[in-house]
Amino acid sequence: MTSTAHGKVILLGEHAVVFGADALAASLSPGVECIARPSPGGTVLAVAPWGVSFRPDDGSELGRAVGDLCAAMGVRDAALALTLHLPGGGGLGSSAAMGVACARALAEMHGRTLRDDELLAFALGWEKVFHGNPSGVDHTLAALGGIGLFNRATGLRRVPMRGALRLCIGDSGERASTREMVHRVARLRERLPAATDQTIESIGAVARDGALALQEGDAKSLGNFMNLNQNLLAALLVSNERLEDLCAAARAAGALGAKLTGAGGGGCVIALAPGREDDVLAAWRAAGVDGRVVEVGR
């Protein structure tokens, strides 16, 4: 049986959520699929379409993550086959989705169905391997799906929508370590605590206001909040020239709002452009970026 997990997009609230502020996030499908079988040759994780396999003792983060997960779940000698529909390191929650799908598959292999709290605990352990101090938003959306405000203290509070939310997603092609980007903001906070905390609080407020706009079906206001959030993220030094150019191109093509999604320093950008999605994708293609239109929060 195939076990699945969602990807995610952060609509509003990157980085601030690490420090206890709210973030507005939505699930993205398809994300990751996993099949687990007993393996007499020891535990191995094969990832398609990478064409690479990982083992607990190979020194890689993925190898360590699958080894820690198997140990936590009391599982030995499993062969896991992952099919990944998300770009690795693109800010769409690929690592969390892999952890959730693997945990579900290992439980299925032994005839178990994990409770939500069990699944989230196993997935959090997986995420700590990659990110050190994860906010929790990625693996929560990977496991539970939907759309809502996430806070480290209160978890996911779902936000009802009046209709489907369609976004353009484009991959900048650049990559940066999530761990390093989080550390960058932490170092900025050490140097400029008052200014950084004010920016973090502002991002949290934008996320809450954006949730109200989403609930009311106010696309124009939601787009404005996305643009404001992008400016605040730039103030935290997690944007770069490539991301700014792609956001500007989307807005020039008719997007109501555009911003990076995820840790920044590279990865993906998202744009809200009702009725103008094809124009945004064309603008990104002209900039050398392939994009797609997705429906999030299902």
**pLDDT given at position 182:** 92
Contact by Cβ (8 Å): 149, 209: no
Is 138 annotated in the active site? Answer: yes
The count of C-alpha atoms lying within 13 angstroms of the C-alpha of 73, restricted to the half-sphere facing its C-beta, is 34
Position with higher pLDDT, 50 vs 8 = 8
Confidence of residue 51 (pLDDT cuts 50, 70, 90): confident
**pLDDT given at position 131:** 84
Mean pLDDT of the chain: 95
CATH number belonging to the domain at 165-296, selected among 3.30.70.890, 3.90.1640.30, 3.40.50.11540, 3.30.365.10: 3.30.70.890
**How many Å apart are CA 15 and CA 238, to the nearest integer?**
9
Least confident of 44-58, 92-106, 227-241, 243-257: 44-58
Extents of the domains making up the chain: 3-158, 165-296
**How many Å apart are CA 64 and CA 194, to the nearest integer?**
38
Instruction: Using alpha carbons, list the distances in angstroms from residue 175 to 88, 249, 262.
Output: 9, 20, 11
Q: What is the mean pLDDT of residues 20-37?
A: 96
Dihedral sign for Cα atoms in the order 79, 81, 87, 93 = negative
Residue written as tokens 């960058």? Answer: 184
| pLDDT exceeds cutoff 90 at 297 | no
Position with higher pLDDT, 179 vs 234 = 234
Residues 6+ apart with CB under 8 A from 79: 36, 37, 38, 39, 41, 43, 44, 46
DSSP 214-228: HHHT-HHHHHHHHHH
Residues 6+ apart with CB under 8 A from 105: 2, 3, 34, 35, 36, 80
Angle of helix 116-131 relative to helix 94-109, nearest 10 degrees, comes to: 130
Q: What is the mean pLDDT of residues 210-221?
A: 97
Contact by Cβ (8 Å): 147, 214: yes
Cis, bond preceding 49 (omega within 30 deg of 0): yes
Question: Which H or E run contains 62?
Answer: helix 61-73
Annotated catalytic residue: which of 58, 138, 171, 209? 138
Q: Which amino acid is at 224?
A: N
pLDDT digits (tens, 9 = 90+) for 218-276: 999 999 999 999 999 999 999 999 999 999 999 999 999 999 999 999 999 999 999 99
Residue written as tokens 């405000």? Answer: 149
Structure tokens at 223: 């787009």
Instruction: Using alpha carbons, list the distances in angstroms from residue 81 to 40, 63, 127.
Output: 15, 13, 19
**pLDDT given at position 127:** 94
Strand order across the beta sheet in which 291-296 lies: 257-261, 268-272, 165-171, 291-296
Q: 157 exposed, middle or buried (CB, 10 Å; 0-12, 13-18, 19+)? A: exposed
Least confident of 87-91, 114-118, 173-177, 225-229: 87-91
**pLDDT given at position 57:** 92
For the domain covering 3-158, report its CATH number.
3.30.230.10
Listed residue (24, 47, 55) closest to 259, CA to CA:
24
**pLDDT given at position 118:** 97
Domains 3-158 and 165-296 share a fold: no
Instruction: Using alpha carbons, list the distances in angstroms from residue 211 to 22, 85, 237.
Output: 10, 27, 25
